[in-house]
Amino acid sequence: MIIKTENLVKEYEAGSQTVKALSGIDLSVEKGEFISIMGPSGSGKTTLMNIIGCLDTPTRGTYHLNGKSVSDLSEDELANIRNKEIGFVFQSFHLLARNSALDNVMLPLRYAGSNKSEALIRSNEALDQVGLSDRSTHTPAELSGGQQQRVAIARALVNKPSILFADEPTGNLDSKTGEDVMNIFKELNSNGQTIILITHEDSIAKQSNRIITIMDGLIKSDIKD
């Protein structure tokens, strides 16, 4: 079991009111699963991703990642886990405009303190995984939207994360390019990568092996192939 949550609750103070974004989530994820999380705006799906992605902590409940409790860790401890265990791919790519594709991919390794020669080898390997070895010296402005997203995927993979999170990864892409990106995710999953994808598109969700629907801070349905 790579992820295990029990009675996960997240509350926010909004003036004099308390807003409950998550109302008690019990979730188990096994290594190698490819999961889509769906739900309307305000359903709690992004809050859930932020917590299991160690970007936020729950108000109540427990969360174990690879058997280790992470519910009450400090910001520094969570940052360390994010760097070593988790990779993120976002809708808007978040690439540094003046840096080459290779430099963008190397960033997590630099934060982790890897030596330069090791970082170069691993970054080139990650770019090769997504089919961009011939674009390593190009800046984002010299790449198409699909190529930029592939750079972002390579950056997320370079630290060999336990889990790859993808938040609306095809949202800024045309349908053909989005299909190409989804094929990369499916290939990564076939090689054992655990992937959790946030999407509002049925056609995207159906390409995963398990679809979880969130509604009003609770899991409404959990369907496996």
- Tens-place pLDDT, residues 58-85: 999 999 999 999 988 888 888 888 888 9
Q: Quote the CA–CA distance of 169 and 130 in Å, as a whole number.
A: 14
Mean pLDDT of 38-44: 91
- Tens-place pLDDT, residues 130-145: 999 999 999 999 999 9
Q: Quote the CA–CA distance of 85 and 81 in Å, as a whole number.
A: 5
pLDDT at 99: 95
Amino acid at 164: L
Q: Quote the CA–CA distance of 24 and 134 in Å, as a whole number.
A: 47
pLDDT at 88: 93
Label the pairing between strands 60-65 and 34-38.
Answer: unpaired
Strand, coil or helix: 209 = coil
- Tens-place pLDDT, residues 184-215: 999 999 999 999 999 988 999 999 999 999 99
CATH code for residues 3-224:
3.40.50.300
Q: What is the pTM of this model?
A: 0.91
Amino acid at 16: S
- Tens-place pLDDT, residues 84-115: 899 999 888 899 999 999 999 999 888 888 88
